[in-house]
Amino acid sequence: MNAELEEQEDELLALASIYSQEFRRAVSGLGGEIRVSLDLPRDFSVIVKAGDKHRDYVISFLPPLVLTFDLPLDYPSTSSPEFILSCKWLSHSQLSAVCKHLDEIWEDTVGSVVLFYWVQFLREDLLDFLNIRPPLEIPVNDQGQATPSTEGSEAGDSQGEAEGSVVETSDEAAVSLDPRALSMLATDTDLLVHLLDYDERQRLRVFEGQAYDCGICFMSKLGCSQYRKCGHIYCNECMSEYFTVQIRDGNVRGLTCPEPECSSTATPSQVKRLVGEELFTRYDRLLLQSTLDRMADVIYCARKACVAPVVLEPDTTAALCPSCRYAFCTICRKTYHGTSHCKLRANTLLTSGSDSAAESSYAGVPQTEAGLQGLWEDYASGSEERRMFLEKRYGKHILNTVVEESLSEGWKGQNSKKCPSCRANIQKTGGCNKMACFTCGQYFCWVCLKQQLHHRAILIHH
């Protein structure tokens, strides 16, 4: 008896040493739990079929099998370990076949410790034993969820179910199920989602435990301090500074991978983790604004104190702000005036000059840019009496708003060019002719305005 207890203790110590992360010994008694992760081939995948369509997903990790055991007093000389085998992606009949095979392994090694051989079989040979070859097929229920089927063939042979599938046995075959087999498959949950989530978590755990060279600073750091999005790896410090510069410059659509020709974009959760709450708030706001600016059926409220986004209704020039309930015209951006003509702004009048209602509204206002420039200089540099005269003649609103806006448009026409992608106005202050749009991130030539491919981001460390 003492010899058997010694063998049991030695075996438990060996398991704890070999499988330090997977093995957990029972608090009292001679038993424990081992989480056995399978060694999958490189090309292993799961497939979900729904009618004539199918989806294929490459995975590197499957949820582990859990072997819970107790060692009887006469183990290993006489009795086998008592155990329960559970799994979240194998059916009852498949697990029953595995339990019976574990009994066969014990019968071949009576008198010797067997737990290590069991774990080795589950880790290395389980897929071959169950005839599971990639891709692993997962049935789909009527709701479109990838769940185990409740129909299938009986587990008549030692290899369980049909090749490469997760299939539950019928009620008729349930009498042959091993009570030690505990399938944790649930018919009301999406098995595919569970498998993909587990695979992603394990990939991240492996990544964070290894060292990689940053593609920007070329220093080797652990994965837990690295940024990985599309297979290209950079340290968090470099990516944090890169994102910070882009967000402060307003280029929220430029948070792409620094690798040339790679268009992978960072997710909001990654951005928040790297730049902090304050910059992320700015990023979130600018990203929303940039998205709305690209939508042809969205404008902003005409009230400067509001400027909430407003969705345009088709075949009408009326817009109603959902925030402040201000109704305005989408053309002149004044209070909605029904079928009456818009009182066009002076800069619009410069280009059309044909609307009689507009001409009467701006009677006496110069109709050329040079005339507007002279009027503005006269008003800005004139005496108090001169200002009052001009305001009485043209109206203070015309002088302060319409003339100023017209001159601004003229200045932009002379000193800026429009992005060939999103038509945003861009001013060139220096450097080479390869420009990057601050709104959409498009690269183009300043001379010919031809769009160019993405080039490698340069990050300067201070």
DSSP 372-406: HHHHHHHHHHS-HHHHHHHHHHH-HHIIIIIHHHH
Cβ atoms of residues 118 and 109 within 8 Å: no
What is the C-alpha to C-alpha distance for residues 175 and 165, in angstroms, rounded to an integer?
A: 22
403: nearest Cα among 431, 442, 436, 364? 364
Task: Report phi then psi at 58, rounded to 5.
Answer: -85, 130
Residues 6+ positions from 456 with CB-CB distance below 8 Å: 258, 259, 260
CB-CB contact of 275 with 247 (8 Å): yes
Dihedrals phi, psi of 245, to nearest 5 degrees: -60, -45
Residue 164 in 3-state DSSP?
Answer: coil
Backbone angles phi, psi at 403, to 5 degrees: -65, -45
d(CA 308, CA 290): 14
Query: Who contacts 454 (Cβ-Cβ below 8 Å, separation ≥6)?
Result: 256, 260, 261, 262, 263, 443
The torsion angles phi and psi of 70, rounded to 5 degrees, stand at: -135, 140
Are 253 and 439 in contact, with CB atoms under 8 Å apart? yes
Point out the residues that are catalytic: 432
Helix (H, G, I), strand (E, B) or coil at 454: coil
The phi and psi torsions of 188 (rounded to 5 degrees) equal -100, 10
CB 217 within 8 A of CB 461: yes
Q: In sequence order, what are the residues at sequence separation of 6 or more whose Cβ sits closer than 8 angstroms to the Cβ of residue 121?
A: 101, 102, 105, 129
Q: How many helices (H) and strands (E) does the chain have?
A: 14, 21
Closest CA to 103 of 86, 87, 118, 123: 118
Residue 330, token pair as written in the block: 């989408």
366 Cβ partners below 8 Å, 6+ apart?
372, 374, 375
And the tokens for 434?
């390869």
